[in-house]
Structure 1
Amino acid sequence: MARLSGYLSRRGGLHPEEASALRQATSRLFNGQNKAETCRWVNAQGYRTTLGNEWTPEVLVRVLSHPRMAGLDDEGNPVEDFGPTVLTPDEYFRLQALFVEQKSQQPQAREAFDYLLTHGGAECGKCKYDMVGTRVSGDADPSYRCPPPRAGQASCGRVRMNADRLEDTVAEAVLAELMRPGAQEHLARLLADMRAEAKRLEEHIAGAVRRFEELRGMRDALVPAAYAAAEKATKDDLRESRNRLRFLEQMIDLPIDGVASLVEWWNSAPRASQRALVRLEIAKVRVLAAGRGKLRDPRERVLIDWRRPPA
């Protein structure tokens, strides 16, 4: 178990440099500096955690909330013969009260947003880098953005679009595409193929127990490396089959008997099912820059590469 920052060991003994850094960080917190700013200062001075990592607000609070910072036990009582401490008991209790107060002032955490087009579904129209889901601030609406450039990452960071504008535009386009002549017949054939594939996968997954038993029966006849490779391949096959079946199950109940039923399905479908339909119809969504506000209609900023049925 790693030692506590500020001490030479878990039994005490001050680490002078680390203790000084933690005391200065505490003073900054008492003087109104927030935890993120305090961590930036600590890191800029070259101080690191006992694991050699940069300080983060979460780690700083966890370390400074440890009762050993003031030579106390878990009940808040002084540890006998502990020796010099990073903080005095008064400083420690004042700091805990400050953390409690700050936590009560934080806005309630917002529910995580389930993005429709992340993980390769949408790309930046300028640099073709995959867009990511993000919020500009804690209380901002979800949005898509091209991530800022950094070493080894050729993104431009210049394109952003609110999630509702992008996703509503794509959903309307997908539903309209499914209404064009011949599209529903093509989708019906795809769904029939998917149902047949799902049935085969269910049978294949059900037979996994037998395959593993047969493999274990061959264990003595195989060298250890060959057995390990065969076991891994069998597990990988089972995992991939289950993942593929989950994808198919999200699609095989899709209604194709008209616009109203399709729209009703979309409005109540789980996000995974909506995502599966979009990926079935669309190869890539490209998001253009706003052009200094010239492209106000979100449809002008969205280019869609469709998965056209073979001629």
Structure 2
Amino acid sequence: MVSAGIYARISSDPDGTRLGVERQITDCEALASRLGWTVAEQYVDNDISAWSGKDRPEYRRMVDDLKNRGIDAIVVWHPDRLTRHPREFEELIALVEGIGDVRIETVTAGDYDLSTSAGRSVARIVGAIARKDSDDASTRLRRKHAELAAAGKVAGGGPRPFGYTEDRLQVVAEEAAVIREMATRVLAGDSQRSIAVDLNSRGIHTSQGNDWTPSGVKRVLMSTRISGRREYQGEFFDAVWPPIIPPEQSDRLRRKLGSRTPKDRRAPKRYLLTGGLLRCGRCDAPMIARPDVNSRRRYVCDSGPGHAGCGRMSALAEPLEQFIAEAVLYRLDTPELAAALVDSRAQQAELAGLHDQIADDQGMLDGLAADYANRQIGRSEWMTAREPIHARIDQARRRLSRLSPTTPIDGYVGQADLLRAAWTGLTLSRQKAIVRVLVERLIAHPAKPGGKFDPDRFEPIWRI
């Protein structure tokens, strides 16, 4: 009795239903029954392309079972379910030659006798045809995606995106308001984690009804969809669906969220002046957060391993943080700050010019993509023509990043009382962002005898 293994594979199964592989298995079982073979094992690689280069663990397990004579034959729905790689075909041929009598039966293309020269030739021809079919399909798919992108149309399926209806074409007003809130809070300095916790506490869930996570918040805000655009191979196209936030706000979000590092996320959570803001007045080393033996929060200049401080400066955190918060609030109402912001508004003309330049260059990219999609130019011409345009856009965006106004104090200049009333309710990350807009660094000078908090020993160096 021949002991056979059934191999089934489907390239894409976004819903995880396995319907494609189940149909393959049913047909293969029927073929094995007609041949009088016993099905000893099933090998299923679901949602894995044979051409993608990804590891196929079940295919490798089947090959190992062949080597160890756990099975004597393979039943597969079609030869291209086994592999579309000529190299893998050659490996399978070499394995069969080494073992001897191994039969391969297919539901749709008959049997393959790899022990004979004729059988091996047929297998190689079928493999080459499968590879060409895969190449042609990939080319058609790439062109289809380019055409959809250039037209700004919806592509792909998957879960409903938060903020939009199931067809991806209409805005869900309640969810759009949440996205605008998230965008404003992130640009104002709130962390993704604090936003996720807040949304969950308010009973606001994702489009799938799940709790929010920091990565979920980031994924929504990093999407070009919410700005009414499609992104394809680094290019942006106006989409057919309406935007929820302006493109320039989306670009700022993507720059901000894309530049965050693990170090940012490991910052101490209960201290306002960490991250190099508070400096030792003796040695200029950054002071770090460290509770004392009574668990009181303190900032210290550390001379231990991994630190370059003198070890001769410390300050209680609570009164110092209250002092700097009050200093920042006072600064918001000063004429000096108002004058500095007037100077910064002189950059608005340059900002507008940069936005116009980016829009013009983006229009050129859209035109090139449309020409490529309509087969008026080839792929190499498309890629060559877009390189200098991309370079100009990148340069303009870097300049925009330096000129774009900082948002944490928007609405509070000259209105310090509003911020004072809201201060204790702000998240720590939001408070830090506000302080850093105004304060370049805070210098801690040596304390005078007496042990009381002395605000005169702390010198803020104002940024604006």
Q: Give the TM-score range, shorter chain.
A: 0.3 to 0.5
TM-score (norm 2): 0.31
Q: Which has the higher contact order (CA 8 A, sep 6+)?
A: 1
TM-score (norm 1): 0.43
